[in-house]
Chain A
Amino acid sequence: MKNQNPTFYEEVRGNGVSRRDFLKFCTTMAAFLGLEASGVAQIAKALQSKPRLPVIWFHFQECTCCSESFIRASHPIVANIVLDKISLDYQETLMAASGFQAEDAYKAVMQKFPGEYIVMVEGSIPTENEAYCCIGGRSALQILREAVQNCKAVVAWGNCASAGCVQAASPNPTGAKPVHKVISGKPVINVQGCPPIADVMAGVVVHLLTFDRIPQLDGLGRPKAFYSRRVHDTCYRRANFDAGLFVESFDDEGAKRGYCLYKMGCKGPVTYNSCGIIKWNDSVSYPIQSGHPCIGCAEAGFWDNGPFYQHLPGVAGFGVETTADKIGVGLGIATAVGIAGHAIVTNIRKHKEIINEPEEGSNVETTKES
């Protein structure tokens, strides 16, 4: 007889995953989360004993790349987590239900599991005119505010939900805002990236499940386990940076030798993510390993800090190509011209003081000897 409320372990075993593979998965996750050795057992125990995590997964202003990343996780158990373990009672892309049934599904979660369910959000929320994003006749803002009222925590998937991403880039016509700016009173986990790495997403879910509390977050609400180090500081090309070996164009000798992409506009030095460690597609590669500079997709406002292939960003109000250095040199020249002008004027206007002639009636004595 099938358990009414099966645990994750029961489900993956039912899907033909061996216990050995299950434990391998637990070990991988414990390593990703930076847990000590005993953490493996904790994860294994949680996945074997705890019922599924009720989840409502919303899609607002986004491209679904977070879902795409998640379901393309190469580890079969990670994919199982997405599709089976977290009970995706409502997920616009993946659920079978539609129309009223779909609406019913997520309302049922809110009624059945008050204070227990997790709201996961993909996409930003329009605030300029809420009508830019409506589902079932209600705006994204209304839906989200209602859903988070009784939730346990909110997971903001990707740059859209964490920082607004491209929709919030200047001039931001829809007034797009990230989740943490439109709701209050609930913990929000910002899982940054465009999209986030699938294993990072799985890691966050496993953490929620195992420990029943949100992972430790940094100042920008990102899980520290995955976002505490710069891509730059974990980059395998870092030695080239310290040695001063830089690629100067995509077809030069340096690019062939795998030098540092700093001068090609790599945003690794200002981007916090696990790309250099966990990598992508079952740890096959990541952008820098494939010869392309990091575009900083895990940082707020990365679209506005472009161009992607320029190390220094453009300065707002001066045009895209104008960097801080160009403005600085311009001001420096203007200052030098001003100084030269002032020096000339001084020699004319202050002639008397310079040639040492005391003014009429002053008490300065002058002696001239020849």
Chain B
Amino acid sequence: MRSRTIPLREVHVWELPVRIYHWINALCIVSLCITGYIIGNPPAFMKGTEAYFNFWFGTVRFIHFVSAFLFFFNFIFRIYWGFTGNEFSRWYNFIPLKRCQWKEILDVIKVDVLQVTSKRIDSIGHNSLASLVYFITFLIFLLQCLTGFGMYGAMSSAFLPRLFGWVVPFLGGDMNVRQIHHLLMWGFILFALVHIYLVFYHDYIERRGVTSSMIGGWKFIEEDVIERHENKTEECPKG
């Protein structure tokens, strides 16, 4: 039997609200991408019948809209949690304002993406490159909500969608809004591909339990990393 003993400590990285946010978000994105793609490119599998007997396309759109509302409020909640959650979920992780965050981004590119050097990345939560990518996805979330509710608002008398009434005139008409909304969908799909791959990659290489951390919240972190984090002598303290 191969085994090894190394000084590891368990760290509670992702609090329950963050994990709930993550999985609701994941479900919404899967649902929105599938229904969205069908709305943009519906299969015409029914023939020789009358409209009276069917409503499947209306149902697909209904699922899309419900998922969109859920996605939107979940997103709002995550922004709120970025100001009240623990240190790993705070907003300052995601926006690289410090020089050391940019240095870590370069390090991650060298170590994990290009693999030209070998070095341990010591971030306990997200590394700086991952954080930056999440920040960009947040911007895409925002754009997707704006364009989506912008199109939805025209046929709704509800308060929330009406707030987005300015989006369509701002972008010059529904045609442009729909095109942007459709292109951004592919941003979600590409993100999901890379995201899932990188979870596998990090678990495979670092063995810090990153996959299960999004279920249980705990990660296994090397003791020296935690010590330096607690003494604020780590390479890139983010707080």
B205 to A367, Cβ gap below 8 A?
no
Q: Which residue of A lies closest to B5 (CB)?
A: A365
Tell me which residues from 208 to 233 in chain B have a Cβ below 8 Å from any Cβ of chain A: 224
B183: contacting residue among A241, A315, A346, CB under 8 A: A315
Chain A count of residues within 8 A CB distance of the other chain: 63
Roughly how many angstroms separate A212 CA and B195 CA in the complex, as a whole number? 60
- Tell me if A246 counts as interface (CB < 8 A to partner B): yes
Cα distance A251–B61 when bound, in Å? 28
Instruction: Say whether, besides A242-B58, A300-B172, A343 and B197 are in contact (CB < 8 Å).
Output: yes
Q: A239 with B51: in contact, given A300-B173, A301-B175 (CB under 8 Å)?
A: yes
Bound Cα distance from A253 to B48, whole angstroms = 7
Q: Which positions 287-343 of chain A face chain B at CB distance < 8 Å?
A: 296, 299-302, 305, 311-313, 315, 324-325, 327-328, 331-332, 335-336, 339, 342-343
**Is there an interface contact between A335 and B155, defined as CB atoms closer than 8 Å?**
no
**Shortest distance from the beta carbon of A132 to any chain B beta carbon, whole Å:** 24
Q: Are A241 and B48 in contact (CB under 8 A)?
A: no
- Across the interface, which residues of B come within 8 angstroms of A244, CB to CB? 42, 44-46, 54, 56-57, 60
Dominant secondary structure of chain B at its interface with chain A: helix
Distance in Å: Cβ of A234 to nearest Cβ of chain B: 11
Assuming the contacts A239-B51, A245-B51, A350-B205, asked whether A324 and B179 have C-beta atoms less than 8 A apart, the reply is yes
Let me know if A368 is at the binding interface, CB within 8 A.
yes
A-B contact pairs, 6 of them (CB 8 A): A220-B168, A239-B52, A243-B57, A328-B186, A367-B3, A369-B1
The chain B residues found within 8 Å of chain A, CB to CB, are: 1-7, 37, 40-42, 44-58, 60-61, 113, 115, 118, 154-155, 165-166, 168-170, 172-179, 182-183, 185-186, 189-190, 193-194, 197, 201, 204-206, 224
**A interface vs B, CB < 8 Å?**
218-220, 228-230, 233, 239-246, 248, 253-254, 257, 262-263, 267, 269-272, 296, 299-302, 305, 311-313, 315, 324-325, 327-328, 331-332, 335-336, 339, 342-343, 345-346, 349-350, 353-354, 356, 358, 363-370
